[in-house]
Amino acid sequence: MPAFRPGHLCSMAAALALLAAAPASAATADPSPGLREVLFVGNNWDGTADVIESSGDFARIGRINVVPDKAQRMAEINADPVRWIYFQAIRNSVGEGHDQFVDDMYSTPDGKSVVVSRPSFADVVSLDLATGKINWRFPVAGYRSDHMAVSPDGTRVAVSASTANKVHVLDIGTGKELGSFATGDKPHENIFTKDGKYLWNMSIGDVNTALDDPGWDWTKGDRHITVVDADTYRQVRVVDMRQRLDAAGLKDFSDAVRPAVFSPDESKLYFQVSFFNGFLEYDVATDRIIRVKTLPKNPATSEDRTTWVNDSRHHGISMNPSGTKLCVAGTMDDYATVVDRATLQEGPLVAASKPYWATVSGDGKDCVVSESGADRVTAIDFATGRKTVSVPVGDHPQRVRLGHVAADWTSPPAG
């Protein structure tokens, strides 16, 4: 990379107060004894997931085949003309000419299985980590599965069914559907609040058309944040960022909310939107955008929006446990950077090849980004903003998630 310098709810008030009052700390799933914390790296085009150390040198521990039933799934698709058309459409649009075999993944609390969403197969599967065999499979509504989220206690997993404008919530152990809810067009990111009471979904609309000029933004569909009660799956709130953006004088910004992260007390939401090199800060209680951070552009990046993958410019954001630093993946600008949350001053721009996600290491010290263009994950120290290590993984890594495996786990048998 060339060198460059960083230079609607009627009772809205009540709902806002309720959501903003989320506790600063909440219960999380306690791992069973004898488990090892790891990071799962989903290699989307490979159809594999690498398991690496969650901190330190991030060394690879093993690899899982997430499409052991590929032949069976392909036979079903080839026998159904409509499914075949959608499969090809996914390959040639969102997949950039490749099949999408793993989008997201979470391990079960006992560390015995990993649950994976597989976009091209429009399903979610649970894989036995010891044998590599499928425990259960859940076909989502429509023709594509997408981002997931796991409840704080680790017992439920939410998955976006992106062509059906719906989110399914499943029992992580059995795959049984516990509930579902309607969303805006093309549901994408899902986030449970720390107390497990609410589930936020962000819909991104149609990101595969060439109508990418701000003047055509209205053609991208109905995009909004849907907040539901995580027990009843009933809608409690809708946030239309178009209204909030316009109120903040940001009429040319897309209202497609992409990756997002809450502050530790969940009073602020930091989120990325389509086409923007930076992120926005949203105050939950006052229901308004309060700050905008524009990050540097890479002069080598084309200004032709139609060349940006799935309308992304920056895609991936995380926050350190203390809530003092943000880490941003500058996807189309080929860098990642740590940003001071108080001042919004970015640190060094760490060169990275199409970084597609950002998460936090197990010890909370590092930001871990997936470099989808270089088939590796890279750790960046939150304290210094400097790269610490890169490790090779499979083809086109995207989501990276913390999880657990058995302390003595090794890769399941091939095949």
Count of residues in the chain: 415
* Contacts of residue 310, Cβ cutoff 8 Å, sequence gap at least 6: 94, 207, 208
Let me know how many helices (H) and strands (E) the chain has, helices first: 4, 28
Q: Is residue 105 part of a domain?
A: yes
Residue 414 lies in a domain: no
Sheet of strand 397-406: strand arrangement: 60-65, 48-53, 35-43, 397-406
| 236 occurs within a structural domain | yes
The rounded distance, in Å, linking the Cα atoms of 411 and 7 is 45
What distance, in Å, lies between the first and last C-alpha atoms of the chain? 39
Q: Which H or E run includes 302?
A: none
What range does the domain containing 373 cover? 12-22+35-406
Q: How many domains does the chain have?
A: 1
Please state, in angstroms and rounded to a whole number, the distance separating the CA atoms of residues 405 and 403.
7
Domain presence at residue 226: yes
Q: What is the DSSP letter of 252?
A: T
Query: In the prediction, which pLDDT does 31 show?
Result: 59
Look at residues 122, 110, 105 and name the one whose alpha carbon lies nearest to residue 66: 105
Sequential pLDDT tens for the chain (415 residues): 333 333 343 344 444 444 444 433 333 455 567 999 999 999 999 999 999 999 999 999 999 999 999 999 999 999 999 999 999 988 988 888 899 999 999 999 999 999 999 999 999 999 999 999 999 999 999 999 999 999 999 999 999 999 999 999 999 999 999 999 999 999 999 999 999 999 999 999 988 888 888 888 889 999 999 999 999 999 999 999 999 999 999 999 999 999 999 999 999 999 999 999 999 999 999 999 999 999 999 999 999 989 998 889 999 999 999 999 999 999 999 999 999 999 999 999 999 999 999 999 999 999 999 999 999 999 999 999 999 999 999 999 999 999 999 999 999 987 6
Answer whether residue 120 is part of any domain: yes
Average pLDDT, the chain: 92
- Whether 7 is covered by a domain: the verdict is no
In a domain, 67, yes or no: yes
For the stretch 264-295, pLDDT in tens is 999 999 999 999 999 999 999 999 999 999 99
pLDDT of residue 72: 97
**Which structure tokens are listed for 325?**
């630093």
Contacting residues for 90 by C-beta, under 8 A, at least 6 apart: 99, 100, 119, 120, 143, 144
**CATH classification at residue 162:** 2.130.10.10
Residue 5 belongs to a domain: no
